Every structure is written in C-alpha cells, then in structure tokens.
Amino acid sequence: MKSFGNMAETYSSQEEFERYKSTMETRIAQLKFEIERFQSSRSAMISKISNSIRIPLNGIIGMIEFLNQSDLKSEQKEYLHVIHQYSTDVLSMLTDIVDFAKVEAGEIQITKQEVRVQQLIAQTIQLHRLKAQGKNLSFNFDVAHSVPEVIVSDKDRLLQIIDNLISNSLSLTKVGKISAMINYEKRDEHYGRLIIHIDDTSEGFSESEQLIILNAIKTGDYILPLRMDQWGLGMALACSVVKALSGEFTFKSQRNSGTSYFVSIPVQIPKEIHNQQMKLSALTKSLDRPLNILLVEDNLLNQKFAMATLSRENHHVDLAENGSRAIELFKMNHYDLILMDIQMPVMDGIQATLTIRQIEKDNAVVSPIKIIAVTAFALEKDKEQCLAAGMDDFLAKPFKPQELISLIADQIS
C-alpha cells in the first residue's frame, strides 16, 4: 500500500508539473504576442508621425529649390543654403528614427541590386566635405583600385551606413581630420567583402564606454550607448543595418586619440553588368509638349510646390484636394497623367485609383491613364500597395523638381 501511495503521489506531482508547464507556456506565448504587438504598434506610430512631418518638409525643401534658382544676392543664397542644410538634416534624422523602429520590430527590408560604387560615394562625399570645411577639419575619402566598378548589395543601406558613420565622426571631432577608405577583399570570382574604414581624431571612448558599446553590438540592445553623447541614434542604426546585411562591425578607440571604425559586408559581383545609361539619362529627361495633368493633393504647401514645378514646364494642371474630387474631374475632363497622393481626407489615393481603373474597365478603355503615386509613405510595402491598386509608378516625398519632371517624361514617353 505504501508503494502504491508513493506511485499515486508521484503521478500527482507529475500531473501538477505538466499543468504548471502548460500554464507557463501559455503565459510566455501571450507575453511574446503582447511584445510583438507593442513593437509593431510603436513602429507604426513612429512611421505615422514621421510621415506627418515629411509632408510639409517636402514643400519646404521644394520651395528652397525654387528660391535657389531665382535671382538672389550672395548673402541670401548663404542663408538659403543653411535652411536647406538643416531641412535635409531633419529629414535624415526622421529616416533614422523610422528605420531604427523597423529594426527593433524586425521589419527592416533589404533590397539587393546592382550598385555602382563610385556613383554611390559621389552622392555623399561632397556634402560631408562641406560640413568638414565648416568646422575647419581635414576630410579625405578614397576608394581603393581593388573595389569593383559594380557590386550587388542594398544601395540605400550601404549609403546609410557610410553617411551615419561619417556624420557621427564629424559631429564628435573638434579638431584634426576624418579619413574614410573603401576596400574590397575578394573571396572568389563572384563573391567578396566590401570593407569600410573610417578614422577620426575625436575624443574617443573610455574603456568602460567601449565595453558598453561592444555589449550593445553583440546583444542588439542600444539603450545604454544611446545615453552617451558620443553615440547617437545614427550609430545604433548603422550597427543594426550592418547586421541585417550579414556584415561585421568593429571599432578601436583611445581616449583623446580618436576612433577607428571597421565595417565588413559580404557582396556579390554580377556575372553581367547591365547598361544603366537610360536610367542615368532620365535625370535630365523632359517632354517637348505640354500635358494636361490632374494633381491630387490635400496639403497646401505641397500643392504650391507641385503646381509651380509643373507650370514651369508649361503643363496645364487641375487640382483635386481628395480622391473623391479627383474622380469627379477624371469623369469630366481628359488628362494625360494623374499625380496621386495617398493619405487624404474623404477618399484616399488607393481607393480613388481602384475606382478610376474600374471606370476605365467598364468603358473598355484601350489606353488607361498613367497614375503616379506621390506620397510620404515610402516603404517597399507602400509601393507594392500602390502598384497593386493599379498605379504605374511611385515617387516618395520629399523629392526634387527634376525628379518629378523626369518621372513624368519617362511615363509619357
């Protein structure tokens, strides 16, 4: 009887353990779900706030472009340059905030394509050189002869890494110099590693600060480093993007002697290099005839910017402040092209496009009107949603006047 009692007690303990285990697994699953939902909600909220700021910022940067082409005194041009610089910095910070939120939510997107390294560097080097000159710093940027002309990687992410690393060094370096070098380590005929090396003469990091940063890089938790003056959001994002590209990030630093950053990213070498002459020529493409264009935009500043851009090209522009009004005008008039904002009151751009495409289908239209999305919602999923609704192309705000003109010419021609 004693043996049976022990068995019953053991069985009871086992049953209790299984119930406890099941309860804990359920709680862990619920907690994981809540954390993921919180991260997703936070990412969505940050993205929405950022887009709300991008919309007026597009108009500001656009009007700066127009003012810069007008007859201004040299002093006024200097003031305008400062305004443009700060506006661009704000835009860059917004992008970093949104991207960092995506990293934390596991939503960062990597898009691999052919990247012409020299063109990539040309996009960023002049801006950093001007900033260095403004601080009386020496600035050198070299690309080794070993670096291939074309690689396959994520162009925007590579540029983001380089920009953020150099910007951080520029921010921290008071006197001396900043040097950047890009090398290439060949693994075989089609694979290798792009090496980014940046040196600065900043105050550097103490040993305790270096340990905190190294632990953050290892764990992906940047809360403690972000409390340091020497480690901004851009650096945390650069490390996260390097990891997303399956790369490695390391650094060496000595107090009062400067810091050296090393980034190694695996890249491919394309078997065939595609001719990009047509795409590059699109930067200066224009039309030889005026168009009838329907602009669908609810923001007053962006309306003025877009209409000024199009009017200077002698295009006739009708304005609709929402999707519902756009449909009314589409039914009444003939247009060569529609520029469609996405987020608007009454009816958004997606629903308006779907309705227009249905009208064309019902009337057996042979040549549907070209519709270009022009929006602050610049994620890949936003672009896919626009194209799925029946739009022909996509332009993210903020944009330069020539980018809009070239995209229109590309669609119409």
pLDDT in tens, the chain (413 residues): 555 555 555 556 677 767 777 777 787 777 777 666 666 666 667 767 777 787 788 788 888 877 887 888 888 888 888 888 788 778 877 778 777 777 766 667 788 889 999 888 887 888 788 889 889 999 999 999 999 999 999 988 999 999 999 999 998 999 999 999 999 999 988 899 999 999 999 999 989 999 999 998 888 888 888 788 778 788 888 998 999 999 999 999 988 889 999 999 999 998 876 554 433 334 445 566 889 999 999 988 889 889 988 988 899 999 999 999 999 999 999 999 999 999 899 999 999 999 999 999 999 999 999 999 998 876 667 788 899 999 999 988 878 788 888 889 888 87
pLDDT at position 5, please?
Answer: 56
pLDDT at position 198, please?
Answer: 96
C-alpha torsion 58→60→61→65, nearest 10: 130
pLDDT at position 276, please?
Answer: 47
Taking a C-beta distance cutoff of 8 angstroms, is the pair 5, 67 a contact? no
Taking a C-beta distance cutoff of 8 angstroms, is the pair 100, 235 a contact? no
What does the block give as tokens for 100?
């960092």
CATH superfamily of the 277-412 domain: Response regulator (3.40.50.2300)
What residues does CATH 3.30.565.10 cover in the chain? 113-268
What type of residue sits at position 360?
E
pLDDT at position 397, please?
Answer: 81
C-alpha torsion 223→376→301→344, nearest 10: -120
Question: Exposed/middle/buried for 61, CB within 10 Å: 0-12, 13-18, 19+?
Answer: buried
What residues does CATH 3.40.50.2300 cover in the chain? 277-412
Considering the domain delimited by 2-104, tell me its CATH architecture: Orthogonal Bundle (1.10)
What residues does CATH 1.10.287 cover in the chain? 2-104
Q: Cα(306)–Cα(399) distance, rounded to whole angstroms?
A: 10
Could you tell me how many residues make up the chain?
413
The three state secondary structure string of the chain is CHHHHHHHHHHHHHHHHHHHHHHHHHHHHHHHHHHHHHHHHHHHHHHHHHHHHHHHHHHHHHHHHHHHCCCCCHHHHHHHHHHHHHHHHHHHHHHHHHHHHHHHCCCCCCCCEEEEHHHHHHHHHHHHHHHHHHCCCEEEEEECCCCCCEEEECHHHHHHHHHHHHHHHHHHCCCCEEEEEEEEEECCCCEEEEEEEEEECCCCCCHHHHHHHHHHHHHCCCCCHHHCCCCCHHHHHHHHHHHHCCCEEEEEEECCCEEEEEEEEEEECCCCCCCCHHHHHHHHCCCCCCCEEEEECCCHHHHHHHHHHHHCCCCEEEEECCHHHHHHHHHHCCCCEEEECCCCCCCCHHHHHHHHHHHHHHCCCCCCCEEEEEECCCCHHHHHHHHHHCCCEEEECCCCHHHHHHHHHHHHC
Report angle CA 193, 171, 140 to the nearest 5 degrees.
50
What does the block give as tokens for 248?
């490695």
Considering the domain delimited by 113-268, tell me its CATH architecture: 2-Layer Sandwich (3.30)
- Tokens 């075989």, residue? 188
